[in-house]
Amino acid sequence: MLYREAGQFKTTYGADQQIFPILQDRLFVLAVILAAFLVVPLFASQYLYTEILIPFLILSLAAIGLNILVGYCGQVSLGTGGFMAVGAYAAYNLWLRVPELNNLVVVFLFGGLMSAAVGILFGLPSLRIKGFYLAVATLASQFFLDWLFARVKWLTNYTPSGSVAVGETSAFGWKIDTPAERYLFILAFVVVATLVAKNLVRGHIGRSWMAIRDMDIAAEIIGFQPLRTKLSAFAVSSFFIGIAGAMWGFLRLGSWEPLAFDINRSFQILFMVIIGGLGSLLGSFLGAAFIVLTPIVLNQMPGWLGVKLSTAMISHLEFMVFGAMIVFFLIVEPHGLARLWSIAKEKLRLWPFPH
Amino acid sequence: MLGPFLETLIGGLLTGVLYSLVALGFVLIFKASGVFNFAQGAMVLFAALTLARLTGEIDGREVHLANFVVAAAILGTALAFIAWYAWREFVARGGGPAEGQRMAILAAVGALIGGAVAWFYGKGAWPLWVALPATAAIMGVLAYAIERLVLRHLVNQEGIILFMATLGIAYFLDGFGQTLWGSDIYKINLGLPKDPIFLFENVFPGGLLVEPGDLVAALIAGLLVVVLAIFFQKTRIGRALRAVADDHAAAQSVGIPLNTIWLIVWTVSGFVALAAGVIWGAKLGVQFSISLIALKALPVLILGGFTSVPGAIVGGLIIGAGEKLSEVFLAPILVKQFDLAGGGIENWFAYMLALIFLLFRPQGLFGERIIERV
């Protein structure tokens, strides 16, 4: 950036281990968070909340979860949608069956925990199989969970076609109803979750994930147990994904059916992780922003250009442009948007006197 | 009991052959380039759509004419871009007999073919014997475009990046095919008898019901496998392909051009996609859901092993049979036992079956043994 660490001396270990060791970085992140909490509600419209900000935040959380598994631990998973569904339906069942406990925080955490349990179960094959074999094996969880929620009547409270709806929601007596309230609630959740994730990945457990990712046999030899490491990655990842799924159901959709969490959702979130940048939390946010905004822009494009096209045509063109953009991004920067950001930062350190 | 069982089994095996066909396309590409090509399903859809529209009735042409114009414009832009790029390369290399020249010629040929397609498309339906080679040619052009515009720029990237790129290609092709040819349900008429055949009527009461279309499909698939086996084992190109599959760097060092090999592989798997598309299209009609059979082919792949052609065939048969048998015999029991809202377990049963196999043989049934060293 335009500033550098010169002159900032650290005198304690605590200061040395901060997440953002440079003062300006700390201030910048703090400013962004404050702006998100205080400034955005001043001008945001209903559309901005429900179509852009809320999906962006929830999917960012899901992308962080998947990034822990794919980017940090190196286990490719195509079952994200299924784990989101577990979170959503577990949260729904707790909310429905224990009405005294109408507290979204508890409900969401329960969804996350259930999802983590299922994640551990479906993570077991990762101990035996690797790479693309594992990726395809995780599809088993996706299809099985899809089927489970469509067919087992108890889970959907005996509603036809498995579609469920939630009514009034609140947390600690705060009724969460309007889009602005939902946004703030989700934002608080995502900020805390990101902080937790950041600390996890830079701590001992995160390092063990990265060791397994870089070479699992070598990691085993230096003393990381593959069982514990891989399953903990599956558990933590599914926990975040489950919370995101519960949020998606409760606060984005309100009423949903298993189709909301089908395989396209899995691919969508994997795209976010890859385009954003593997092994980068910032990348999860950038990727989510990209994937959420692109279809909206593409959808509006013909209208802006004054071209009249049928809706079917627009959706086909959307597919095309979306696919082409993904390929383009992968070719230009296979390490994702996060890498572009860090390149820009490196350049700016020396700017305007590069030599 | 034996009668229905055998009937289900045969039905499952015949469906399994179709899965094998799609899986075969995956295996070819994975073997030769290590790319896990998720776009295989989209290629099947694209091939089927192209063939269906070339041979099909021309009712509703006005509706699709607008689509066609837009698509032609996009295609033209793409071709112009290739031509420009080729010209630049040509000039940069001092005008020698560079690849740029070949590309320019190819782009021109592509434009000509595009023009011809457009011309004839307006005139009416093509007979099958014209449309089939034309579709094959289009698949070849497609393979070239994929190799030139995507894969070549992603050499030496990690597997997951390449996989993601093929997902992008899949999205693009799904959109492109439907933009070009419309998204209704089309029919492919191969002129096969429709009436079911009854086998062994003297052994079982009522005999075994078999669709003739399925039998033809199985025949085509078998033929294709034999041809591919000969191609791989006996021809010079086949030998080169096997060398590349074994070791990219070593193959390159003895003078095998990787790019050409990739082009060939993608073209061949384009042809396989065409065969799969024709058979599926003739059976179920050509529609978007065809591209989803890629998902059906994935358990076949992990069961048979990513690198094994016979594995794809045997895996397909096992998955096809297992899927149908489970749906007919296991699902009712599950529904009754757990009070489910319907069966439909065939969606995941194949995956579970493959997963169980994998726990015992992580490289699949016929896959090469994975040896890891630090």
Assigned domain for B172 exists: yes
The pLDDT-based confidence of A176 (bands split at 50, 70, 90) is confident
> Is B195 contained in some domain?
no
How much is the pLDDT for B53?
A: 77
Q: Which residue in B301, B306, B351 is closest to A143 by CB distance?
A: B351
Residue B73 falls within a domain, yes or no? no
Look at B362 and A274 and tell me if their CB atoms are within 8 Å.
Answer: no
Whether the Cβ atoms of residue A271 and residue B164 lie closer than 8 Å to each other: yes
Q: Is B315 helix (H, G, I), strand (E, B) or coil?
A: helix
| Cβ neighbours of B359 in A, within 8 Å | 125, 128-129
A238/B137: higher pLDDT:
A238
Residue B351 to residue A140, Cβ atoms within 8 A: yes
Residue B273, domain member (yes or no): yes
CA distances from B239 to A263, B306, B335 (A): 38, 19, 51
Contact indicator for B305, B370 with CB cutoff of 8 Å:
no
Give a yes or no: residue B369 inside a domain.
no
> Region B111-135: what's the mean pLDDT?
66
The percentage of chain A sitting over the pLDDT mark of 90, rounded to a whole number, equals: 39
Of the listed ranges A162-171, A254-263, A280-289, the one predicted with least confidence: A162-171
> Cβ–Cβ of B168/A263 closer than 8 Å?
no
- Residue A294: its chain B contacts at CB < 8 A? none
Residue-wise pLDDT for A102-122, tens only, equals 788 899 999 999 999 999 999
Across the interface, which of A70, A151, A323 has its CB nearest the CB of B175? A323
In this structure, of A131-140, A251-260, A267-276, B129-138, the range with the lowest mean pLDDT score is: B129-138
Task: Kindly calculate the radius of gyration of chain B based on its CA atoms and give it in whole angstroms.
Answer: 22
Tokens of B137: 């040619």
Residue A55 has pLDDT above 90, yes or no: yes
Q: What is the pLDDT of residues A316-339, one digit of tens each?
A: 888 888 888 888 888 888 888 899
pLDDT for A30? 93
The answer to whether B362 and A133 are in contact (CB under 8 A) is yes
Bridge partner list, B286: B186
Lowest mean pLDDT among A336-345, B152-161, B189-198: B189-198
Instruction: Write out chain B residues lying below 8 Å of A152, CB-based.
Output: 338, 340-341
In whole numbers, what is the pLDDT of chain A averaged over residues?
A: 88
The pTM for the full model equals 0.85
Q: Measured between CA atoms, how close is B164 to chain A, in angstroms?
A: 8
Q: Averaged over B185-211, what is the pLDDT?
A: 67
Minimal CA separation from A154 to chain B, in Å: 9
Q: Average of pLDDT values for B189-215?
A: 67
- Tally of domains within chain B: 1
Q: How many angstroms away from the CA of B351 is the closest CA of chain A?
A: 5
Question: B178 and A319: CB-CB below 8 Å?
Answer: yes
Structure tokens at A64: 């962080």
CB neighbour burial string for A307-336, b if at least 16 within 10 angstroms, e if fewer: eebeeebbbbbbbbbbbbbbbbbbbeebbb
**What's at B158, amino acid-wise?**
E
Q: What is the tens place of the pLDDT at every residue in B30-43?
A: 887 778 888 888 99
Under 8 Å CB-to-CB from B153, ≥6 apart: which residues? Answer: A331
The answer to whether position B251 is within a domain reads: yes
Which residues does chain B have within 8 Å of residue A313's beta carbon, measured at their own beta carbons? Answer: 66-67, 70, 179
CATH of the domain at B340: 1.10.3470
Domain membership of residue B117 (yes or no) is no
Q: Which residues of A touch B178 (CB under 8 A)?
A: 312, 316, 319
State the pLDDT at residue B65.
52
d(CA B64, CA B72): 12
Give the gap in angstroms from C-alpha A247 to the nearest C-alpha of chain B: 26
Q: Do B164 and A274 touch (CB under 8 A)?
A: yes
Chain B partners within 8 Å of A136 (Cβ)? 298-299, 301-302, 351, 354
**B118 or A176: which carries more pLDDT confidence?**
A176
* Residue type for position A136: V
C-alpha–C-alpha distance, residues A259 and A253, integer Å: 12
Interface test with A, best of B172, B357, B369, B371 (most A CBs within 10 A): B172
Inter-residue contact B76 to B97 (CB < 8 Å) = no
Which residues of A are less than 8 Å from B35 in CB distance? Answer: none
By C-alpha distance, which of A165, A186, A163 is closest to A176?
Answer: A186
Report the pLDDT value the prediction gives residue B62, as an integer from 0 to 100.
42
Measured between its terminal Cα atoms, the distance across chain A in Å is 16
User: Is the pLDDT at A42 greater than 70, yes or no?
Assistant: yes
- B265 pLDDT above the threshold of 80: yes
Nearest to A133 among B150, B172, B302 (CB): B302
Using one digit for the tens of pLDDT, what is the confidence trace for B61-102? 444 554 555 555 555 555 665 666 666 656 665 655 555 566
Does the CA dihedral A81-A209-A328-A133 come out positive or negative?
negative
Tell if the CB–CB gap between B348 and A313 is shorter than 8 Å: no
Which of the residue ranges B154-158, B300-304, B313-317 would you say has the lowest mean pLDDT?
Answer: B154-158
H or E, element range at A115: helix A104-123
What is the DSSP-derived secondary structure letter of residue B189?
-
* Residue owning tokens 């997951």: B160
Query: Inter-chain contact B164–A144, Cβ cutoff 8 Å?
Result: no
Shortest Cα distance from A86 to chain B (angstroms)?
Answer: 16
| Axis crossing angle, helix B309-325 with helix B212-234, rounded to the nearest 10 | 160
* Most confident of the ranges A137-141, A239-243, A263-267, B326-330: A239-243
B233: tokens are: 């084992």
Instruction: Please answer yes or no on whether B168 and A133 come within 8 Å at the CB atom.
Output: no
CB pairs under 8 A between A and B: 157
Output the CA–CA distances (angstroms, integers) from residue A231 to A83, A123, A208, in the order listed: 15, 6, 12
Q: Assess contact for A121 and A231: CB atoms under 8 A.
A: no
Write out pLDDT tens, residues B42-63.
999 998 888 887 776 545 444 4
At residue B72, the pLDDT reads 55
- As beta bridge partners, residue A47 has none
To the nearest whole percent, how much of chain B has pLDDT over 90? Answer: 2
Helix and strand totals (H; E) in chain B: 14, 2
Task: Map out the domains of chain A with their CATH numbers.
Answer: 52-350 (1.10.3470)
What does the DSSP assignment read for A189-255?
HHHHHHHHHHHHHHSHHHHHHHHHHH-HHHHHHTT--HHHHHHHHHHHHHHHHHHHHHHIIIIIISE
- For residue B186, the 8-state DSSP code is B
Asked if the structure places residue B225 within a domain, the reply is yes
Q: Cα(B370)–Cα(B374) distance, rounded to whole angstroms?
A: 13
Q: What is the span of the domain harbouring residue B298?
A: 2-57+125-190+210-360
